[in-house]
Chain A
């Protein structure tokens, strides 16, 4: 079976700094794929390259058998790649519901003219968007927050809201950048089961960056370890967890 996403020889420079070096991966459909590495090792940059925020200096990104290396970010998202952000990027002055609706709607379905005239077709489409968005909030246990301004939600709920917003774009692949950051142990526990539930229910593939070892070792089926932009180890969690290079470069520094 061909991989859902294949990256080959991806290198990226920021000026003279090589942030990502010859990165490659093949992510199987339906898997939970983990990416770990010390601070500043280039993990977020890899997500930024996949989603088209930066174009790689070298290399190629194939998604769903299509070359998306030079595509615009919104096109990549429309093609089925969604993401969350390490530092939340919520639409703060809009309601939780609107945060989801914006991701759920597609501009092709309601023309500007039908919006202005409020045609029956437009109203039906609005109803559908609203219902599906409320369902997503429900899944994330955020139903009672639908009408609340996003800026008034606590941190843990914002993390879930961002995952819901990413899912609202109907992705095949979802990139999660440190979703457990800032969560307490109970929330981390819930997050782990949430990610697995999302994968099963939405049939999405998950690409996960996480510092939290418990999460990575607990739910990832394959792990890649990078340091200074270079891949230093990869494989099954049990194998990677014992790799001396990993222990030294990554776990060693943080005392596992």
Chain B
């Protein structure tokens, strides 16, 4: 007898979607809040995919936003090009999806190309290589006139809306969760735990490190594509080192190795960051003191230190909520 298993993640997602949609149409949530929710959802993809590399497989990547940048520029270039040729093109949403996927695939390919040589070696070469990669990517965007150079890629059509972003985020989380809770995910976990022992129970550790890194890069590319079509621009400064560190902070705050933690932290920190931005501006206006947005990062860093001091395994540790955990039949 096989017991019918309720798809908890799907049901939870549907309820959350319905509630937000209802609150928005009732006017309880305004367009501004919805915009922050959209951003939070995209950060969920970024944090979850970095967690696959960093928290599950134990490989330290410092250039995650570089892959988001690739996704943003590739998909943004494709959709603007198509739109310039024919603004009233039929099936435009399908083309948008194809463009986003293309951005993800190019990011995955680049992930493979830089991951393969550095992950074959033992030790933390990946951290150094990805640090360099993030900066190189930023410089490359800065210097290609075709994609706007330092001005950024402007006039990207607005395809990302709440529904699209929600569905893509749901699918990304579901895929990452299904990978983690499978033989492939367990192989990745064993590398984090003890790479030599992993190899000596028959696991091709190089293959799994590269697979994890390229998969993470793919989803970062997808997230970048969503961003570009939400903000209608892609700018080199969006994808630099400090942005990658923000994603790292998210996964450390949420719990390294916990998808639930990544989701919660992506929302909490995106809202917090927006709140701080408004708070600092209000404070500057009220007092006339010359305090700017960069103070946000200081408070962010202090917060991280605070979390590490009092709850060093992050919000969730490595635990998962029942929604994320797939029940196993005995």
Tell me the A residues contacting B by CB distance below 8 Å: 51, 53, 72-74, 77-78, 82-83, 85, 89-94, 98, 101-103, 105-107, 109-110, 112, 115-118, 122, 125-127, 129-130, 165-166, 168-169
Contact = CB atoms under 8 A, between A and B. Distances in A.
Nearest to B189: A94
Interface in B171-194: 175, 178-179, 182-187, 189-190, 193-194
11 contacts: A72-B204, A85-B197, A91-B193, A93-B193, A94-B186, A98-B186, A107-B204, A115-B182, A118-B178, A125-B183, A126-B183
Contact of B201 (A103, A122, A125): A103
A153 to B, nearest CB: 14
A168 B197 CA distance: 13
A102 B199 CA distance: 11
B31 interface: no
Task: Give the contact-size bracket for chain B.
Answer: 20 to 34
A115 B193 contact: no
B193 A107 contact: no
B189 A98 contact: yes
Contacts of A127: 329
B203 A90 contact: no
Contact of A90 (B178, B185, B197): B197
Nearest to A122: B182
B329 A102 contact: no
B175 A91 contact: no
Contacts of B203: 74, 102, 107
Contact of A89 (B183, B185, B187, B196): B196
A110 B189 CA distance: 17
Contact of A74 (B184, B205, B318, B329): B205
Contacts of A165: 201
Contacts of B328: 126, 130
Contact of A92 (B193, B196, B199, B211): B193
B198 interface: yes
A116 B187 contact: no
A72 B328 CA distance: 34
Contacts of A85: 197
Contacts of A51: 200
B221 to A, nearest CB: 17
A115 B200 contact: no
Nearest to A79: B202
A106 B186 CA distance: 11
The 10 closest A-B pairs by CB, nearest first: A115-B182, A91-B193, A89-B197, A103-B201, A105-B183, A77-B202, A102-B190, A73-B199, A116-B178, A78-B202
A168 B318 CA distance: 25
A77 B201 CA distance: 6
Nearest to B190: A102
B186 A169 contact: no
A69 to B, nearest CB: 17
Contacts of B184: 107, 110, 112, 115
A167 to B, nearest CB: 11
A169 B202 contact: yes
B178 A91 contact: no
Nearest to A78: B202
Contacts of A169: 201-202
A102 B186 contact: yes
Given A73-B199, A112-B184, A116-B178, A89 B194 contact: yes
Interface string B72-113: 000000000000000000000000000000000000000000
Contact of A94 (B175, B193, B205, B211): B193
Contact of B200 (A77, A90, A105, A109): A77
A85 B198 CA distance: 12
B189 A115 contact: no
B320 to A, nearest CB: 13
A51 to B, nearest CB: 6
Nearest to B194: A89
A107 B182 CA distance: 10
Contacts of B193: 90-94
B56 to A, nearest CB: 11
A73 B200 contact: yes
A102 B196 contact: no
A107 B207 CA distance: 11
A45 to B, nearest CB: 15
Given A74-B204, A103-B202, A127-B329, A112 B179 contact: yes
B318 A93 contact: yes
Contacts of B200: 51, 53, 73-74, 77, 82-83, 89
A134 to B, nearest CB: 9
Interface in B200-225: 200-205, 211
- For A112, A122, A127, the residue with the greatest tally of chain B CB atoms inside 10 Å of its CB is A112
